[in-house]
Amino acid sequence: CTAMDQVFHIRCFDCIVCHLQLQGKPFYAVDCKPYCEDCYMNTLEKCCVCTKPILDRILRATGKPYHPGCFTCVVCNTALDGIPFTVDAANQIHCIEDFHKKFAPRCSVCQEPIMPEQGMDETVRVVALDRSFHVNCYKCEDCELLLTSESEGRGCYPLDGHVLCKSCNAARVQALSSTLATNI
């Protein structure tokens, strides 16, 4: 019989691994050596998710082989082939959005995760009094003036753990002073 541009005795044309006779059967040639279908499948890399042989394109991430369709976010199961992803401390794969939702600091006012704005890569947050805030949630607790260090008089003037603007801080200090004076 003729196979792989070589001539074989019929009994000699067998699988290089298990010696199954291959005449009239499907076989695979790897480095000019014949393999039966089962032995060939055993030579292929296995997907680390489904453990099935990878017959087509191998997607390799975090040092492991995947079928492109098996490489998914652990939260939303979106296929991440060609999509930016990240890995958590437990080596679990996340799409960027779910990673931020799960691990981003939470705003101390609205309790929502502080994530990058739509179309942006970087997160902007305010940290004050060991608490995190969205820029738009960083307001005076009394008058709701949006606080910023960029404008004169709009900075944070904390008092007893409260986030206050300059005038509300002064009003609270005045009220505390009046209360103390009347109690003495």
How far apart are the C-alpha atoms of 6 and 17, rounded to whole Å? 19
CA dihedral of 59, 63, 65, 71, whole degrees rounded to 10? -60
Domains in the chain: ranges and CATH? 2-43 (2.10.110.10), 59-102 (2.10.110.10)
Task: Quote the pLDDT of residue 86.
Answer: 92
Cβ atoms < 10 Å from Cβ of 119: 5
Whether residue 4 contacts residue 34, with contact meaning beta carbons closer than 8 Å, is answered with yes
Phi, psi of 70 (to 5 degrees): -90, -10
Whether residue 129 contacts residue 148, with contact meaning beta carbons closer than 8 Å, is answered with no
Task: Spell out the per-residue pLDDT of the chain, length 184, in tens.
Answer: 777 777 888 888 899 999 998 888 888 888 888 999 999 988 899 999 999 999 889 999 989 999 999 999 999 999 999 999 999 999 999 998 899 889 889 999 999 999 888 777 788 899 999 999 999 999 999 999 999 887 777 899 999 999 999 999 999 999 888 776 665 5
pTM for the model: 0.60
Cβ atoms < 10 Å from Cβ of 35: 21
